[in-house]
Amino acid sequence: MAQYSADLDGLFVALADPTRRDVIRRLGRGPTTVGDLAREFPMTLPSFMKHVRTLESNGLIRTAKSGRVRTCVLSRERLALVDDWLAEQRRIWEARTDRLESFVTDQREKNDES
């Protein structure tokens, strides 16, 4: 459980930045080189590489070097952790709203009977 929580913490920290979310969005369309990715952002390559390293260290992307070209690939299985957590939260809140709806309906029915 502690590892699951630590993994989620790292994923959410990595996804908190709009540049990194844009990189994830772009890689959702398919692999691309770091150079092509970096051209889409108004920052220096060293600054952009910090974002790449953050995404890679949290397992959201993988990179592979072939010669002088580094290619980035989205790691969809890591995004599944976020999806699982969100689904769990959704179930919790839906159950709470269902209970609230039931409570309100019961109260209305009691008031109508009075």
**pLDDT tens readout for residues 48-76:** 999 999 999 999 999 999 999 999 999 99
Strand order in the sheet with 32-33: 32-33, 69-74, 61-66
Answer yes or no: pTM beyond 0.85.
no
Range of the domain at 10: 2-113
CATH for 7: 1.10.10.10
Say if CB 6 and CB 57 are below 8 A apart: no
Tokens of 110: 């009691």
Q: Which residues pair with 33 in a beta bridge?
A: 71
Q: H helices within the chain, ranges in order?
A: 2-15, 18-27, 34-39, 45-57, 76-113
Q: What total number of domains does the chain contain?
A: 1
CA gap 32, 50 in Å, rounded? 17
